[in-house]
Amino acid sequence: MQKQIRLRSAGRSAGPERGLSMASKSKKVILFIAEGPTDEDTLSPILKKIFQNDEVRFHIVHGDMTSNWSVSVNSAVKTVYEHIEMERKRYGFQKSDIQKVIHLVDTDGVFIPDDRIIYHKGKDIQYYDDRVEAPFPQRVLDRNQRKSQILSRLSETGKVGTLPYRVYYFSRNLEHVFHNRTGNLTDAEKIDFADDFADRYLSDPEGFLAFLSDSDFTVSGDYDDTWKFIAQGVNSLHRHSNFHLLFESSPS
Protein backbone atom coordinates (compact mmCIF):
# COMPACT_ATOMS: atom_id res chain seq x y z
CA MET A 1 0.00 0.00 0.00
CA GLN A 2 1.29 3.44 -0.90
CA LYS A 3 2.11 6.08 1.67
CA GLN A 4 -0.78 8.53 1.92
CA ILE A 5 0.07 12.00 0.68
CA ARG A 6 -0.86 14.92 2.87
CA LEU A 7 -2.14 18.24 1.59
CA ARG A 8 -0.13 21.26 2.65
CA SER A 9 -2.34 23.79 4.38
CA ALA A 10 -2.33 27.44 3.40
CA GLY A 11 -4.66 30.23 2.40
CA ARG A 12 -5.80 30.05 -1.20
CA SER A 13 -5.05 32.92 -3.53
CA ALA A 14 -6.15 32.83 -7.16
CA GLY A 15 -3.46 33.67 -9.68
CA PRO A 16 -3.83 36.22 -12.48
CA GLU A 17 -4.46 35.22 -16.06
CA ARG A 18 -1.34 36.90 -17.40
CA GLY A 19 1.95 37.64 -15.69
CA LEU A 20 2.39 37.66 -11.94
CA SER A 21 0.32 40.14 -9.98
CA MET A 22 1.77 42.31 -7.21
CA ALA A 23 0.15 39.98 -4.67
CA SER A 24 1.70 36.89 -6.21
CA LYS A 25 5.20 38.13 -7.05
CA SER A 26 6.51 36.30 -4.00
CA LYS A 27 5.08 33.04 -5.39
CA LYS A 28 7.04 30.62 -7.51
CA VAL A 29 5.63 29.22 -10.74
CA ILE A 30 5.08 25.49 -11.11
CA LEU A 31 4.88 25.02 -14.85
CA PHE A 32 3.00 21.96 -16.11
CA ILE A 33 3.56 20.86 -19.70
CA ALA A 34 0.68 18.74 -21.04
CA GLU A 35 -0.51 17.41 -24.37
CA GLY A 36 -4.09 18.68 -24.59
CA PRO A 37 -6.56 21.15 -23.06
CA THR A 38 -8.58 18.44 -21.29
CA ASP A 39 -5.44 17.60 -19.27
CA GLU A 40 -5.50 21.15 -18.00
CA ASP A 41 -9.27 21.14 -17.49
CA THR A 42 -8.98 17.96 -15.41
CA LEU A 43 -6.00 18.86 -13.27
CA SER A 44 -5.59 22.62 -13.07
CA PRO A 45 -8.45 23.42 -10.63
CA ILE A 46 -7.29 20.74 -8.19
CA LEU A 47 -3.58 21.52 -8.52
CA LYS A 48 -4.20 25.22 -7.87
CA LYS A 49 -5.89 24.26 -4.63
CA ILE A 50 -3.14 21.82 -3.59
CA PHE A 51 -0.26 24.16 -4.46
CA GLN A 52 -1.87 27.15 -2.79
CA ASN A 53 1.42 28.91 -2.10
CA ASP A 54 2.56 28.62 -5.71
CA GLU A 55 1.49 29.89 -9.11
CA VAL A 56 0.29 26.91 -11.17
CA ARG A 57 0.60 27.37 -14.92
CA PHE A 58 -0.18 25.00 -17.79
CA HIS A 59 1.53 24.99 -21.15
CA ILE A 60 -0.49 22.95 -23.67
CA VAL A 61 1.51 21.48 -26.53
CA HIS A 62 -1.61 20.54 -28.56
CA GLY A 63 -0.04 17.24 -29.48
CA ASP A 64 2.55 14.79 -28.26
CA MET A 65 6.02 16.28 -28.53
CA THR A 66 7.58 12.91 -27.63
CA SER A 67 6.15 11.27 -30.76
CA ASN A 68 6.57 14.28 -33.03
CA TRP A 69 8.73 13.30 -36.00
CA SER A 70 10.62 16.61 -35.75
CA VAL A 71 11.87 15.69 -32.26
CA SER A 72 14.77 13.29 -31.76
CA VAL A 73 16.49 11.85 -28.72
CA ASN A 74 19.25 14.41 -29.16
CA SER A 75 16.85 17.36 -29.44
CA ALA A 76 14.27 16.27 -26.84
CA VAL A 77 15.59 18.31 -23.91
CA LYS A 78 16.09 21.34 -26.16
CA THR A 79 12.49 21.00 -27.35
CA VAL A 80 11.21 21.00 -23.77
CA TYR A 81 13.31 24.11 -23.10
CA GLU A 82 11.77 25.83 -26.13
CA HIS A 83 8.28 25.13 -24.82
CA ILE A 84 9.24 26.52 -21.41
CA GLU A 85 10.57 29.68 -23.04
CA MET A 86 7.41 30.00 -25.14
CA GLU A 87 5.22 30.01 -22.03
CA ARG A 88 7.59 32.19 -20.01
CA LYS A 89 7.63 34.90 -22.67
CA ARG A 90 3.90 34.61 -23.23
CA TYR A 91 3.13 35.42 -19.59
CA GLY A 92 6.10 37.65 -18.90
CA PHE A 93 7.74 35.90 -15.96
CA GLN A 94 11.45 35.34 -15.43
CA LYS A 95 13.35 32.07 -15.23
CA SER A 96 13.98 32.84 -11.57
CA ASP A 97 10.20 32.87 -11.04
CA ILE A 98 9.94 29.18 -11.98
CA GLN A 99 10.23 26.71 -9.10
CA LYS A 100 10.05 23.57 -11.26
CA VAL A 101 8.73 22.15 -14.52
CA ILE A 102 6.42 19.13 -14.52
CA HIS A 103 5.93 17.31 -17.81
CA LEU A 104 2.86 15.05 -18.13
CA VAL A 105 2.97 12.36 -20.83
CA ASP A 106 0.96 9.41 -22.13
CA THR A 107 2.85 6.15 -22.65
CA ASP A 108 0.73 4.85 -25.56
CA GLY A 109 2.22 1.39 -25.06
CA VAL A 110 5.54 2.44 -26.60
CA PHE A 111 7.74 0.15 -24.50
CA ILE A 112 6.11 -3.12 -25.56
CA PRO A 113 8.05 -5.80 -27.50
CA ASP A 114 7.92 -5.44 -31.27
CA ASP A 115 6.11 -8.74 -31.71
CA ARG A 116 3.12 -7.34 -29.78
CA ILE A 117 2.36 -4.94 -32.67
CA ILE A 118 -0.01 -6.74 -35.03
CA TYR A 119 -1.63 -5.89 -38.35
CA HIS A 120 -5.38 -5.42 -38.61
CA LYS A 121 -7.61 -4.06 -41.37
CA GLY A 122 -9.22 -1.29 -39.37
CA LYS A 123 -8.58 2.41 -39.88
CA ASP A 124 -7.34 3.30 -36.39
CA ILE A 125 -4.74 1.94 -33.98
CA GLN A 126 -6.35 -0.28 -31.35
CA TYR A 127 -4.78 -0.78 -27.91
CA TYR A 128 -5.28 -3.92 -25.82
CA ASP A 129 -3.73 -5.16 -22.58
CA ASP A 130 -1.34 -7.47 -24.40
CA ARG A 131 -0.91 -5.98 -27.89
CA VAL A 132 -1.44 -3.11 -30.30
CA GLU A 133 -3.25 -3.65 -33.59
CA ALA A 134 -2.68 -1.24 -36.45
CA PRO A 135 -3.26 -0.96 -40.20
CA PHE A 136 0.39 0.05 -40.62
CA PRO A 137 2.41 -1.82 -37.96
CA GLN A 138 5.75 -0.48 -39.19
CA ARG A 139 4.65 3.07 -38.43
CA VAL A 140 3.83 2.03 -34.85
CA LEU A 141 7.18 0.24 -34.57
CA ASP A 142 9.00 3.37 -35.72
CA ARG A 143 7.00 5.58 -33.37
CA ASN A 144 7.57 3.28 -30.42
CA GLN A 145 11.30 3.16 -31.00
CA ARG A 146 11.62 6.93 -31.15
CA LYS A 147 9.15 7.80 -28.40
CA SER A 148 10.47 5.19 -25.94
CA GLN A 149 14.01 6.51 -26.40
CA ILE A 150 12.83 10.11 -25.94
CA LEU A 151 10.85 9.25 -22.80
CA SER A 152 13.84 7.40 -21.37
CA ARG A 153 16.04 10.41 -22.10
CA LEU A 154 13.60 12.85 -20.49
CA SER A 155 13.06 10.63 -17.45
CA GLU A 156 16.81 10.77 -16.81
CA THR A 157 16.87 14.57 -17.09
CA GLY A 158 16.77 16.26 -13.71
CA LYS A 159 17.07 19.79 -15.07
CA VAL A 160 16.24 21.63 -18.26
CA GLY A 161 18.71 24.48 -18.34
CA THR A 162 18.84 25.48 -14.70
CA LEU A 163 15.22 24.53 -13.98
CA PRO A 164 14.28 21.42 -11.96
CA TYR A 165 12.38 19.06 -14.25
CA ARG A 166 10.44 15.82 -13.86
CA VAL A 167 8.26 13.83 -16.25
CA TYR A 168 5.30 11.78 -15.01
CA TYR A 169 3.28 9.32 -17.05
CA PHE A 170 -0.29 8.16 -17.50
CA SER A 171 -0.57 4.77 -19.17
CA ARG A 172 -1.98 4.54 -21.73
CA ASN A 173 -3.36 8.04 -21.24
CA LEU A 174 -4.99 10.21 -18.59
CA GLU A 175 -8.52 8.93 -19.25
CA HIS A 176 -7.28 5.35 -19.00
CA VAL A 177 -5.76 6.02 -15.57
CA PHE A 178 -8.39 8.29 -14.04
CA HIS A 179 -11.54 6.76 -15.54
CA ASN A 180 -10.43 3.26 -16.59
CA ARG A 181 -11.64 3.98 -20.11
CA THR A 182 -9.97 2.33 -23.07
CA GLY A 183 -10.52 2.93 -26.74
CA ASN A 184 -10.62 6.19 -28.64
CA LEU A 185 -12.69 8.89 -26.94
CA THR A 186 -14.31 11.84 -28.68
CA ASP A 187 -13.39 15.37 -27.66
CA ALA A 188 -16.85 15.75 -26.11
CA GLU A 189 -16.34 12.63 -23.99
CA LYS A 190 -12.95 13.89 -22.82
CA ILE A 191 -14.47 17.24 -21.84
CA ASP A 192 -17.27 15.52 -19.89
CA PHE A 193 -14.75 13.35 -18.05
CA ALA A 194 -12.58 16.39 -17.26
CA ASP A 195 -15.53 18.38 -15.90
CA ASP A 196 -16.81 15.50 -13.78
CA PHE A 197 -13.35 14.80 -12.35
CA ALA A 198 -12.68 18.43 -11.49
CA ASP A 199 -16.12 18.77 -9.87
CA ARG A 200 -15.56 15.62 -7.81
CA TYR A 201 -12.19 16.57 -6.34
CA LEU A 202 -12.11 20.37 -6.28
CA SER A 203 -13.67 20.36 -2.83
CA ASP A 204 -11.80 17.20 -1.80
CA PRO A 205 -8.08 17.57 -2.60
CA GLU A 206 -7.21 15.07 0.12
CA GLY A 207 -9.40 12.55 -1.68
CA PHE A 208 -7.59 13.29 -4.92
CA LEU A 209 -4.20 12.67 -3.32
CA ALA A 210 -5.44 9.44 -1.77
CA PHE A 211 -6.81 8.38 -5.17
CA LEU A 212 -3.39 8.93 -6.75
CA SER A 213 -1.34 7.27 -4.03
CA ASP A 214 -3.42 4.22 -3.16
CA SER A 215 -5.13 2.92 -6.31
CA ASP A 216 -4.64 -0.12 -8.51
CA PHE A 217 -2.79 2.04 -11.02
CA THR A 218 -0.31 3.49 -8.50
CA VAL A 219 3.23 2.35 -9.30
CA SER A 220 5.33 1.74 -6.19
CA GLY A 221 8.96 2.67 -5.72
CA ASP A 222 10.96 5.81 -6.26
CA TYR A 223 11.05 7.88 -9.45
CA ASP A 224 13.67 5.72 -11.18
CA ASP A 225 11.87 2.53 -10.11
CA THR A 226 8.61 3.68 -11.70
CA TRP A 227 10.29 4.36 -15.02
CA LYS A 228 12.03 0.97 -15.00
CA PHE A 229 8.66 -0.64 -14.27
CA ILE A 230 6.74 1.02 -17.11
CA ALA A 231 9.45 0.02 -19.62
CA GLN A 232 9.08 -3.69 -18.82
CA GLY A 233 7.03 -6.10 -20.95
CA VAL A 234 3.57 -4.78 -21.75
CA ASN A 235 3.28 -2.57 -18.66
CA SER A 236 3.00 0.57 -20.81
CA LEU A 237 -0.32 -0.80 -22.12
CA HIS A 238 -1.72 -1.36 -18.64
CA ARG A 239 -3.30 1.18 -16.31
CA HIS A 240 -0.38 2.74 -14.43
CA SER A 241 0.84 6.14 -13.27
CA ASN A 242 3.67 7.61 -11.19
CA PHE A 243 2.05 11.05 -10.84
CA HIS A 244 1.62 10.57 -7.08
CA LEU A 245 5.38 11.02 -6.65
CA LEU A 246 5.08 14.73 -7.42
CA PHE A 247 3.17 15.23 -4.17
CA GLU A 248 5.42 13.00 -2.05
CA SER A 249 8.53 15.04 -2.85
CA SER A 250 9.53 17.94 -0.68
CA PRO A 251 8.87 21.42 -2.08
CA SER A 252 11.83 22.92 -3.91
Please, what is the average pLDDT of the chain? 89
Q: Tens digit of pLDDT for each residue in 222-249?
A: 999 999 999 999 999 999 999 999 998 6
* Identity of the residue numbered 142: D
Cα–Cα distance for residue pair 144/167, rounded to 1 Å? 18
* Cβ contacts of 245 within 8 Å, gap of 6 or more: 166, 168, 222, 223, 226
Cα–Cα distance for residue pair 74/76, rounded to 1 Å? 6
| Range in 23-27, 146-150, 165-169, 183-187 the model is least confident about | 23-27
Please state, for a pLDDT cut of 90, what percent of the chain lies above it: 79
Work out whether the CA dihedral 107, 203, 40, 152 comes out positive or negative. Answer: negative
Total number of residues shown for the chain: 252
User: Residue 252 above 70 pLDDT?
Assistant: no
Q: What are the backbone angles phi and psi of residue 214, rounded to the nearest 5°? A: -140, 55
Q: Tens digit of pLDDT for each residue in 154-200?
A: 999 999 999 999 999 999 999 999 999 887 788 899 999 999 998 99
Whether the pTM exceeds 0.85: the reply is: yes
